[in-house]
Amino acid sequence: MLDKLKTRILAWTAGTAVAVATTAMVTGGAVAQNKEPIKIGFSMALTGPLAANGKQTLLGMKIWEEQTNAKGGLIGRPVKLVYYDDQSNPSTVPGIYTKLLDVDKVDLVVSGYATNMIAPAMPVVMQKGKTFVTLFGLDVNAEFKYPKYFSVIPTGPRTKPSFTEGLFQVALQQDPKPTTVALVAEDAEFSKNACEGARTNAKDMNLKIVYDRSFPPGTTDFSPILRAVQASNADIVVVCSYPLSSVGIVLAVNEMNYKPKIIGGAMVGLQATVFKQKLGSKMNGFVNYETWVPSDKMMAPAAAFFKTYQAKAGAEGVDPLGYYLGGWGNAYVDALGQAIEGTKSLDDNKIAEYFRKSTFKTVMGEWSYGPGGEWTKSGMMQVQYHNVKDGNDLDQWRGMAVQTVLTPPELATGKVIYPYEKAK
């Protein structure tokens, strides 16, 4: 009888302990979730010509938000993304960041996507003394020299030349070596910066520039421009452009049957699945930058993320693969999250100091910062497209069957098909 009583008491005590512990855990989680969220504000291109890239960036960020909150948030508080559509229009950006900081009272800010959207936010961010983590801005801080600016783009310390350096290196390995260059650039912040870098590369490699012209945004007929380039008889044609212009130039090159020895370089847009599907075989032969590819080496730390992204992409109506900006959208806000946890603070000065001294490990790889808030090492690649099929064969883009990494050597997966027409 006494033994049975002891057993009941022990069982009751153990059950009570479990119940108390469970209640404590639930209550603790509830307290964390009931705290005021950490609000992170930004603009994003959800309409307009940059929307295909902006939307996949946002989905990558939302996945970070969801997974972070599922783990209990940051420093005991949930996180909340607060954002507005900048319509791919730089003129909307200053007003958005003013509203985020003065009306929404966000705790921290990050940038929207692209150089053209980052530059107009800088004066507002600087005036407020906020740390600014930016996504795919090309050398934006060269003019501002803001000490709390940190760029997430794998250009490395040679920011402007990095977009086209690999193309020049590949071209000069051919026999006979090319000697002349044509430069075609859209009159926009990113493309002007990339073209400036291409001029530097041409000079450093003793190549003669025989054509150097820009065209206005919104150009739809590229035939006159390409006829002029063709007349220059340049061996290397470097194009620096934003998505709609990149598509227009690829189409015009094919329609004209223009066959330079090598063409591409800094064409934004060709990395997005929507444009790859649209252009299909017309992309064959182009050599262009990529910031990430689904090679075995690069996919290793990112496989779980892309499985989650691709499961959500259909319902969100975004890029079905997310290889260009889905992963980077996740990575750049994750870097900010690492700094918050690392400092146990939302203080912009402390977070900026953490960025200066730390190495960030993300689904897109590792990086650290040098002067000016740029990466200490470049991760830019030049990739050639080949054997691309027309139609809706999405699977051809899941691996490396229709693209070859040419540079840098440590990431290369094959050799260039040269000249360009042999890959057609």
Question: How does pLDDT run across 294-353, given as a tens digit for each residue?
Answer: 999 999 999 999 999 999 999 999 999 999 999 999 999 999 999 999 999 999 999 999
Q: Are residues 186 and 273 in the same domain?
A: yes
Q: Are residues 285 and 396 in the same domain?
A: yes
Region of residue 332 (left: phi > 0; alpha: psi -120 to 50; beta: else)? alpha
Using DSSP's 3-state secondary structure scheme, residue 313 falls into helix
Q: How far apart are CA 118 and CA 44, in angstroms?
A: 10
Q: How far apart are CA 74 and CA 189, in angstroms?
A: 35
In the chain, the number of structural domains is 2
Flag whether pLDDT at 11 surpasses 70. Answer: no
Q: Are residues 251 and 323 in the same domain?
A: no
Q: Are residues 188 and 142 in the same domain?
A: no
Provide mean pLDDT across the span 89-117: 97
Q: Is residue 95 part of a domain?
A: yes
Flag whether pLDDT at 399 surpasses 70. Answer: yes
Cis previous bond, 49, omega within 30: no
Q: What is the DSSP letter of 172?
A: T
Q: Is residue 31 part of a domain?
A: no
Q: Residues of the chain with pLDDT > 90: what percent?
A: 90
Q: Are residues 261 and 192 in the same domain?
A: yes
Q: Are residues 252 and 303 in the same domain?
A: no
Provide mean pLDDT across the span 97-102: 98
Flag whether pLDDT at 86 surpasses 90. Answer: yes
Q: Are residues 106 and 141 in the same domain?
A: yes
Q: How far apart are CA 217 and CA 219, in angstroms?
A: 6
Flag whether pLDDT at 1 surpasses 50. Answer: no
Q: Are residues 146 and 236 in the same domain?
A: no
Q: Is residue 61 part of a domain?
A: yes
Flag whether pLDDT at 271 surpasses 60. Answer: yes
Q: Is residue 327 part of a domain?
A: yes
Q: How far apart are CA 347 and CA 45, in angstroms?
A: 28
Strands across the sheet containing 262-267: 208-215, 180-186, 236-241, 262-267, 287-290, 381-385, 403-407
Q: How far apart are CA 406 and CA 417, in angstroms?
A: 10
Q: Is residue 140 part of a domain?
A: yes
138: containing domain: 38-154+298-373
Q: Are residues 218 and 260 in the same domain?
A: yes
The pLDDT of residue 392 is 84
Q: Are residues 251 and 163 in the same domain?
A: yes
The pLDDT of residue 18 is 33
Pull the structure tokens for residue 403. Answer: 């693209």
For residue range 23-60, list pLDDT tens digits in order: 333 333 344 456 899 999 999 999 999 999 999 999 99
Q: Is residue 226 part of a domain?
A: yes
Using DSSP's 3-state secondary structure scheme, residue 72 falls into coil
Q: How far apart are CA 94 and CA 114, in angstroms?
A: 15
Query: Residue 247 maps to which CATH number?
Result: 3.40.50.2300
Flag whether pLDDT at 17 surpasses 80. Answer: no
Q: What is the pLDDT confidence band of residue 62, given thresholds at 50, 70 and 90?
A: very high
Sign of CA dihedral 51, 54, 56, 59: negative
Q: Are residues 136 and 163 in the same domain?
A: no
Q: Is residue 197 part of a domain?
A: yes
Q: Are residues 60 and 113 in the same domain?
A: yes
Query: Which is nearest to 339 in space by CA: 364, 316, 356, 319?
Result: 356
The average confidence (pLDDT) of the chain is 92
pTM: 0.88
Q: Is residue 66 part of a domain?
A: yes
